[in-house]
Amino acid sequence: MEISEVIKGRRSVRKYAAQPLEDGVVEELLDAARWAPSWANLQCTRFIVVRDKSTKERLVEAMSPRNPARNAVAGAPVVVVFVGKIDASGHKDGRPVDDKAWYMFDVGLAMQNFCLAGHAKGLGTVIVGSFDYGKAGEIVNVPEGYQVVAFTPLGYPEGESKAPPRKEMSELVFHEKM
């Protein structure tokens, strides 16, 4: 697949087939994720692979009641939780260099690599960001100094997901000044 095909063809998938994943595929996607760029190459992202049904169900409970990805998280063969180390990215000599939460940026880049690599292999994902972070952290045993940023189900999509439209380039792109 051409890179533009991978980028534009990836969709948020909220319905998964029962088909299990082949051995080694999750590791292959996590390898793509760990090759994402990161602040000073500190690699602050951690990945928790969840296969246990009851853990998935507990993660669903941590999600907002109207989150449209609830069934996807409950039903996909695997859920991967993306965790950020809070005090590494964007820090120098133990202090934040500015008031931006750079670990969020690093985790986002890793997650996009994961989702795109998954799509290139015919697998679906949906980034889930709307949930109780504290609760999710307890469920997957995230220690102090780390924060669950987002998670995604992973599996073979059932049916097609329609692409939500994008804004026109003319609304988004500026030249020289905004």
Ligand X SMILES: Cc1cc2nc3c(=O)[nH]c(=O)nc-3n(C[C@H](O)[C@H](O)[C@H](O)COP(=O)(O)O)c2cc1C
Counting contacts by CB under 6 A, is residue 101 touching ligand X?
A: no
Please say which residue, 101 or 127, places its beta carbon nearer to ligand X: 127
Counting contacts by CB under 6 A, is residue 9 touching ligand X?
A: no
| Pure H helices in 47-157 | 53-62, 70-75, 102-120, 133-139
Binding mask 46-85 for ligand X (x = CB under 6 A): ---------------------xxx----------------
How many positions of this chain bind ligand X (CB under 6 A)? 14
Site for ligand X in 151-170 (CB under 6 A): 161, 163-164
Structure-token match 């820090």, residue found: 91
Please say which residue, 15 or 46, places its beta carbon nearer to ligand X: 15
Counting contacts by CB under 6 A, is residue 126 touching ligand X?
A: yes
Counting contacts by CB under 6 A, is residue 130 touching ligand X?
A: yes
Please say which residue, 95 or 162, places its beta carbon nearer to ligand X: 162
SS (H, E, C) 2-35: CHHHHHHHCCECCCECCCCCCCCHHHHHHHHHHC
Counting contacts by CB under 6 A, is residue 19 touching ligand X?
A: no
Chain centroid to Cα 159, Å, comes to 21
- In order, the DSSP letters of 139-171 are HTTPPTTEEEEEEEEEE-B-S--PPPP---HHH
List the strands of the sheet with 78-85, edge to edge: 45-50, 78-85, 146-155, 124-125
Please say which residue, 5 or 22, places its beta carbon nearer to ligand X: 5
Dist CA 178 CA 171 (whole Å):
11
Distance in Å, CB of 93 to ligand X, minimum: 30
- Give the interface with ligand X as residue ranges (CB under 6 A): 11-12, 14, 67-69, 126-130, 161, 163-164
